[in-house]
Amino acid sequence: MKLLGIVIGFLCVNFLVASETYKAGVLLQNKEINEFTPFIHQAKQTGVDILVLPSLPTGYADKYDELVSLFSKTARQAGVYIAVHLYEKARCGMAYETVRSNLVFDRNGDIAAVYRKPQNGIANCTAPHSDLVTFTSDFGVTFGLVMEEDLALYDEEHFKGVRNFVMAGEWESEVVFLNAANFAPSWSYIMNANLVSTAGIYSGKAGLQTGDDNLIVAELSKNGGSDSQMVLSTKPSNLLHEYLSQYVIRPLDVEASSRGYKETVCHRRFCCEFYVKTALGNNNEASYKLAAFNGVLPASDHHNIAAEICIMSGSENSNTVFERISVTANFTKQNAQFPIVQSATVLPAENFKFTKANGNSQQVTLETVNVKNVQNVGIFGKDSVLEDNYIYGEKNNTETVEHDIYEYIFNEDVQEFFDYVWIRLRILIVVVSIYILEMM
């Protein structure tokens, strides 16, 4: 009886633990669409509840209905939730516009949620959702459905306290550390939320979840990210020279940094305080820049972002060992701040610290110790209120006007009016012609 009680207790504990988690999967890129189905069934065999597929290119826009039918059938056969980003062509007046669509299929193959945006950002017929699109799964988790740019464009209030997110839909930002593979871990870390995306699976402060070369599977808490901090660093990416030209930049004195080097860099009224201590015996020819920025950045063709940024940026190939890097700044209080750590080597949790202290402004400090092969380290502060979420530059205003004129000219009502005028004009021409002939 005692053994039976132990077994029952063990089963109850396992059931309780299992009920507090779910399994998420991500199928990595570079797969042909005919390869999706076997991996979807493989995910089911590993117990995956929800699977995010790679985003399909715009060339598949003409096959939207066919693909929806295919994924619906596959989700039903495999018995898993499937999330995928598709392009579709939607009629808009006398023309067509390309629409980006995030779709989620439930285990029955029904569409559980749809999130749409115009591809060009200025289409009239497909307005983006102003509120967060959510759906609740049969395993008791409410998910937010987002595209990559939403992480950078929206403030915390937009996400309504949701702790689990599905993200699909690629976005190329001119600010390299805002691209999904770079910004997603920082966003998940600060929000302490699970983010299941085409870029990977991120579990709050537990960081990136790993898997094999084809399929990543992770067991996640239904309550959001883990409190057990692990790795935050992401793969290095080069900051464009023309992008850094907008910053106030000071070169790091690598030789002096072996004794501990302090530098304050200011852009307008925003100042960044850097402290850098390198290990003895480093190559003094390594080149690093200390930079500050306060203003508006062109994040992409149709989006600008108001930002306050402190960053130390250098060469990816540098073998410089940093005993300590500290970056501190006073940020505007209503801003959100995110850590930037891009390194070719893994950064253990105990070597990283990110703290905030409230006062008249919000003092934020990022500190790393005993790290090498660092390319970018710093803090990205984003204004929490973006004017209308989308701020267009002069070029995009011109595009908008041209697009509006085009839409007006080819509007069905306008076309009918011109047809009516042309018919009446033809009648008048015939009558005048007959009159002229009779006069002759």
Token representation of residue 421: 């005028």
d(CA 237, CA 131): 32
d(CA 423, CA 331): 66
What CATH homologous superfamily does 16-221 map to? Carbon-nitrogen hydrolase (3.60.110.10)
For residues 379 and 340, the answer to whether their CB atoms sit within 8 Å is yes
**pTM, full prediction:** 0.80
Q: Tell me which residue of 210, 200, 196, 253 sits closest to 82, measured CA to CA.
A: 196
Per-residue model confidence as pLDDT tens digits over 218-243: 999 999 876 555 555 555 555 544 46
Average pLDDT, the chain: 81
Tell me which residue has tokens 């540098």. 318
Residue 9 has pLDDT above 80, yes or no: no
Per-residue model confidence as pLDDT tens digits over 137-196: 999 999 999 999 999 888 888 998 999 999 998 888 878 788 877 899 899 999 999 999
d(CA 95, CA 105): 29
d(CA 50, CA 358): 39
d(CA 414, CA 409): 6
**Residue 246: phi, psi to the nearest 5?**
-80, -10
Q: Tell me which residue of 77, 65, 68, 66 sits closest to 37, measured CA to CA.
A: 77
d(CA 296, CA 381): 12
Residue 268 has pLDDT above 70, yes or no: yes
Residue type, 265: V
**Residue 360: phi, psi to the nearest 5?**
-65, -30
d(CA 217, CA 227): 20
Residue 201 has pLDDT above 50, yes or no: yes
Residue 390 has pLDDT above 50, yes or no: no
Per-residue model confidence as pLDDT tens digits over 71-124: 999 999 999 999 999 999 888 777 788 899 999 999 999 999 999 988 776 655
Per-residue model confidence as pLDDT tens digits over 49-65: 999 999 888 888 889 99
Per-residue model confidence as pLDDT tens digits over 64-83: 999 999 999 999 999 999 99
Identify the residue with better confidence: 423 or 305: 305
d(CA 392, CA 387): 10
